Amino acid sequence: MSTLEINDLHVSVETEDGPKEILKGVTLTIKDGETHAIMGPNGSGKSTLAYSIAGHPKYTVTGGTVTLDGDDVLAMSVDERARAGLFLAMQYPVEVPGVSVSNFLRTAKTAIDGEAPKLRTWVKDVNATLEKLDLDSSFGTRSVNEGFSGGEKKRHEIAQLELLDPKVAILDETDSGLDIDALKVVSDGVNRFIEDKNKGVLLITHYTRILRYITPDFVHVFVNGKVAESGGPDLADELEANGYDKYVSAAV
Amino acid sequence: MSSALEVDKVISHLHPEGSFDLADHPVPTGREEVWRFTPLKRLRGLHDEAPFGAGACAVEVSAAQDVVVEQVGADAVERGLSGLVPTDRVSARAWAAADGATVVRIPQDTVVDGATILAHTGTGAELAGASHTVIVAEKFSKSTVVLTFAGTAVLADNIEIVLEDGAELTVVSLQDWADDAVHHSTQHARVGRDASLKHVAVSFGGDLVRHDATADYAGPGGSVEMLGMYFADEGQHIEHRLFVDHTAPHTKSNVVYKGALQGQGAHAVWIGNVLIRKVAEGIETYEENRNLVLTDGCQADSVPNLEIETGEIEGAGHASAIGRFDDNQLFYLRSRGIAEDEARRLVVHGFFNDLIRRIDVPELEEKLAATVESELEKNVLKAFK
């Protein structure tokens, strides 16, 4: 059983005019097998929430707690958080020239497990995962994210999700910039993670499109740095029909 | 054979007039454009009047099959075959002082297996050494020549590289000196019609290493690839000055130098000059220098220069960058559970990897990767011990 608990989280960033508060008290609990969709307009702080949980140095936590199975996530370094079982699929995955995908995946897997994976089964696992995500076998020899198309970057993120097998995954706008075929491939990967392994997912998105392929258990409307409303999957349908206007004007 | 290349004179600061006469090369003050980055007081007088003696370096030759290596006298015809005329005082002094030359000859039409290695080992002698090497790749030959430099010495040398028509040659100059060595090297290549040169400079060791690598073309269709890799440590000055002179049409040049700097007072200089003469229509050139600054207290100077006298070319461009560790790269790797020291190691190996792959000299590949690793141990990973 794994639980990610976010309680009254306040986060600010440094700007030219001093610190600016982006997250203004976020409270959320994600349990095993639960998929939570966070939806909100641009600039509402959705991505800040994702990066803060992962520990990006740009963001300063000024209040609140984040725990994974009771352990204090905020006290951990970035890599300790990943080793504790958190995974962030990024909206803009970073290029690392000269480091091959296969070297990167093996190094990450070794770090997460605390020991090198068994060579024979590992190669098989990697190839099977790449194939499921419609990435050909030469992918492993390419440099991490360098020259990847937008779709390849996102599929590579999901390949990592499946291979590294975290406890809780945060997907930051994984659907953005994907055509419909790539969206299906990526959604299938996320569904395998959720259903086969009964894992928790925090799905951050701007559009309802991906929710046709990944059914959330909970939908949260995120406005002005906090959750404005929570509900079931039907809340997404309502947002699709009426947009965020109601929440944005209420928050101002 | 005559190596004279008939070209129009160009008024260009990239192209100082050469001379064998020492009187034409006054002692530099350090304010000259070509000397302004070099700490002259650490040159041990090479630029002034420091006497030369024999025995500064022992040279061990290991010739690949069919390759002929011989010693010739100072007045042998091979000297000057590349058209090298000294453009600075150190080169002119080394030319005058060298008592002969080592000539490496790759016979016509011969495809050579394995590398010919000239291993120079500094003996720690009191006096500076002056040496001269001429590499001649005869028509349609294909081979690799590696010059390595290790140990302690003060050395000024001229290295001439001649590619006859259709020759394919890789020349590697590996500076793996001890910490107190001083090396001033002038390397000039003349590239024949449809010939192709890969020139590789790797500088790890030495107190002061200053390299001039230049190339011009004796006919159309020639191609030059200049690759460089350096690691400047605490207190080290490593300077690479490149000049590709496009003296013939439809020639190509591609320059990629990458370096890492670490430790107080580490200084790397890269000057990349390219001249496209009026006659050089349809040429293609690109030069690139990237520096990765690993710690505080380092300085990297990177100056690309491109002079174009004809617009009728395929392409010309350059790129230069000096950067620190990219926080986003480190964050990305660490967010996958990779600890910070391992993430830094991956980024630096990655920085050099594609270059090592392009150098593509099997005899060196392992050594280069191992040297990157041992350089990393000095600073980058020290904080994590």
- pLDDT higher than threshold 80 for residue B155: yes
Q: How far is the first Cα of chain B from the last one, in angstroms, to the nearest whole number?
A: 60
Q: Return the closest-CA partner of residue B16 out of B34, B35, B42.
A: B34
Cβ-based contacts of B353 with chain A (< 8 Å): 98-99
Cβ-based contacts of B339 with chain A (< 8 Å): 79, 111
- pLDDT higher than threshold 60 for residue B1: no
CA distance A90 to A107: 19
Q: Closest approach of chain B CAs to the CA of A123, in angstroms?
A: 19
Chain A CB within 8 Å of residue B346 CB: yes
Contact yes or no for A94 and B336 at CB 8 A: no
A189-206 pLDDT, tens digit each? 999 999 877 899 999 998
Q: What is the pLDDT of residue B373?
A: 86
| Best to test chain A binding among B331, B349, B353, B384 (most A CBs inside 10 Å) | B331
Per the CB < 8 A criterion, the answer to whether A2 and A69 are in contact is yes
Q: Closest approach of chain B CAs to the CA of A142, in angstroms?
A: 11
Give the SS3 label for residue B15: coil
How is domain A3-251 classified at the architecture level of CATH?
3-Layer(aba) Sandwich (3.40)
Take residue A42 and report the two structure tokens written for it: 């641009």
Q: What is the pLDDT of residue A149?
A: 93
Chain B CB within 8 Å of residue A88 CB: yes
**Is residue B4 very low, low, confident or very high in pLDDT (cuts 50, 70, 90)?**
low
Q: Which of A213-227, A234-248, B190-204 bottoms out in mean pLDDT, i.e. has the lowest?
A: A234-248
* Among A residues 113-132, those touching chain B with beta carbons less than 8 Å apart: none
Residue A246 has phi, psi (to 5 degrees) of -55, -40
Contacts of B11 (CB under 8 A, 6+ apart): none
Chain A CB within 8 Å of residue B12 CB: no
Q: Which helix (H) or strand (E) holds B156?
A: strand B154-163
- pLDDT higher than threshold 60 for residue A252: no
A43-79 pLDDT, tens digit each? 999 999 999 999 999 999 999 999 999 999 999 999 9
Cβ-based contacts of B358 with chain A (< 8 Å): none
Q: Which of A172-176, B139-143, B157-161, B207-211 bottoms out in mean pLDDT, i.e. has the lowest?
A: A172-176
Q: What is the pLDDT of residue B11?
A: 67
Radius of gyration, alpha carbons of chain B: 20
Per the CB < 8 A criterion, the answer to whether A156 and A174 are in contact is no
**Is residue B112 very low, low, confident or very high in pLDDT (cuts 50, 70, 90)?**
very high
- pLDDT higher than threshold 80 for residue B18: yes
Contacts of B223 (CB under 8 A, 6+ apart): B191, B195, B196, B197, B251, B252, B253
ipTM for this model? 0.96
Contacts of B145 (CB under 8 A, 6+ apart): B67, B104, B106, B115, B116, B117, B118, B135, B169, B170, B171, B172
Q: How many CB atoms lie within 10 A of CB B227?
A: 21
For chain A, give the number of residues. Answer: 252
B114-143 pLDDT, tens digit each? 999 999 999 998 899 999 999 999 999 999
What's the average model confidence in pLDDT over A3-21? 96
Q: What is the pLDDT of residue B225?
A: 98
Q: How far is CA B21 from CA B84, B100, B114, B133, in A?
A: 13, 18, 39, 20
Chain B CB within 8 Å of residue A194 CB: no
CA distance A19 to A41: 22
Contact yes or no for B338 and A108 at CB 8 A: yes
Residue B195 has phi, psi (to 5 degrees) of -85, 160
Write the single-letter amino acid at B11. I
Place of tokens 């030959």: B141
Q: What is the pLDDT of residue A3?
A: 96
* Among A residues 54-73, those touching chain B with beta carbons less than 8 Å apart: 54-57
Chain B CB within 8 Å of residue A161 CB: no
Residue B299 has phi, psi (to 5 degrees) of -135, 130
Q: What is the pLDDT of residue A228?
A: 94
Strands across the sheet containing A200-205: A86-89, A168-172, A200-205, A35-39, A218-223, A226-231
Chain A CB within 8 Å of residue B351 CB: yes
Distance of CA B296 to the CA centre of its chain: 26
B229-273 pLDDT, tens digit each? 999 999 999 999 999 999 999 999 999 999 999 999 999 999 999
Higher pLDDT, B254 or B363: B254
**Is residue B13 very low, low, confident or very high in pLDDT (cuts 50, 70, 90)?**
low
Higher pLDDT, B372 or B174: B174
Minimum-distance CB partner of B334 among A78, A87, A93: A78
CA distance B324 to A204: 32
What's the average model confidence in pLDDT over A216-243? 93
B19-59 pLDDT, tens digit each? 999 999 999 999 999 999 999 999 999 999 999 999 999 99
Q: Which of B66-75, B257-266, B354-363 bottoms out in mean pLDDT, i.e. has the lowest?
A: B354-363
What's the average model confidence in pLDDT over B181-193? 98
| Best to test chain A binding among B334, B342, B354 (most A CBs inside 10 Å) | B334
Chain B CB within 8 Å of residue A141 CB: no
Q: Closest approach of chain B CAs to the CA of A239, in angstroms?
A: 32
Contact yes or no for B354 and A54 at CB 8 A: no
Minimum-distance CB partner of A107 among B338, B340, B352: B338
Chain B CB within 8 Å of residue A47 CB: no
Place of tokens 């909970």: A218
- pLDDT higher than threshold 80 for residue B9: no
Take residue A155 and report the two structure tokens written for it: 């599929």
Q: What is the pLDDT of residue A115?
A: 95
Chain A CB within 8 Å of residue B59 CB: no
Count Cβ–Cβ pairs < 8 Å, chain A vs chain B: 79
What's A93's DSSP letter? P
Contact yes or no for B332 and A94 at CB 8 A: yes
Cβ-based contacts of B342 with chain A (< 8 Å): 107, 111
Contact yes or no for B346 and A104 at CB 8 A: yes
**Is residue B384 very low, low, confident or very high in pLDDT (cuts 50, 70, 90)?**
low
Higher pLDDT, B370 or B199: B199
Q: Whole-number mean pLDDT of chain B?
A: 93
